[in-house]
Amino acid sequence: MPRSRRAVAMSVSHSSRLNKLVREQYMRLPQDGLVQVTYVWIDGSGEGVRCKSRTLDKEPKSIEDVPEWNFDGSSTAQAEGSNSDMFLVPVRMFRDPFCLDPNKLVLCEVLKYNRKPAGPYYCGVGADKVYGRDIVESHYKACLYAGVKICGTNAEVMPSQWEFQVGPCEGIEMGDHLWMARFILHRVCEDFGVVATLDPKPMTGNWNGAGCHTNYSTEEMRREGGLKHIEAAIEKLSKRHDYHICVYDPRGGRDNSRRLTGHHETSNIFEFSAGVANRGASIRIPRQVGQDGYGYFEDRRPAANCDPYAVTEAIMRTTVLNETGVETKDYV
Per-residue pLDDT of 255-269, as tens digits, reads 999 999 999 999 999
Amino acid residing at 224: E
Indicate if the pLDDT at residue 21 is higher than 80.
yes
Q: What is the mean pLDDT of residues 95-120?
A: 86
Helix (H) or strand (E) holding 310: helix 308-319
Domains of the chain in start order, with CATH, are: 19-192 (3.10.20.70), 214-319 (3.30.590.10)
**Contact call for residues 101 and 66 (beta carbons, < 8 A):** no
Q: What is the mean pLDDT of residues 37-48?
A: 94
Per-residue pLDDT of 219-232, as tens digits, reads 999 999 999 999 99
What distance in Å separates the CA atoms of residue 74 and residue 83, rounded to the nearest whole number?
8
What distance in Å separates the CA atoms of residue 233 and residue 237, rounded to the nearest whole number?
6
Indicate if the pLDDT at residue 17 is higher than 90.
no
Helix (H) or strand (E) holding 180: helix 173-192
> Binning pLDDT at 50, 70 and 90, where does residue 5 land?
very low
Per-residue pLDDT of 272-284, as tens digits, reads 999 999 999 999 9
Indicate if the alpha-carbon torsion angle 304, 67, 150, 314 is positive or negative.
positive
What distance in Å separates the CA atoms of residue 275 and residue 297, rounded to the nearest whole number?
10
> Binning pLDDT at 50, 70 and 90, where does residue 113 land?
low
So what's the pLDDT on residue 7?
Answer: 42
CA dist list (Å): 105 to 43, 64, 154, 270, 330 = 17, 14, 14, 42, 48
What distance in Å separates the CA atoms of residue 267 and residue 142, rounded to the nearest whole number?
34
So what's the pLDDT on residue 290?
Answer: 95
So what's the pLDDT on residue 12?
Answer: 63
What distance in Å separates the CA atoms of residue 332 and residue 330, rounded to the nearest whole number?
6
So what's the pLDDT on residue 324?
Answer: 85
So what's the pLDDT on residue 9?
Answer: 44
**Contact call for residues 37 and 66 (beta carbons, < 8 A):** yes
Q: What is the mean pLDDT of residues 243-249?
A: 96
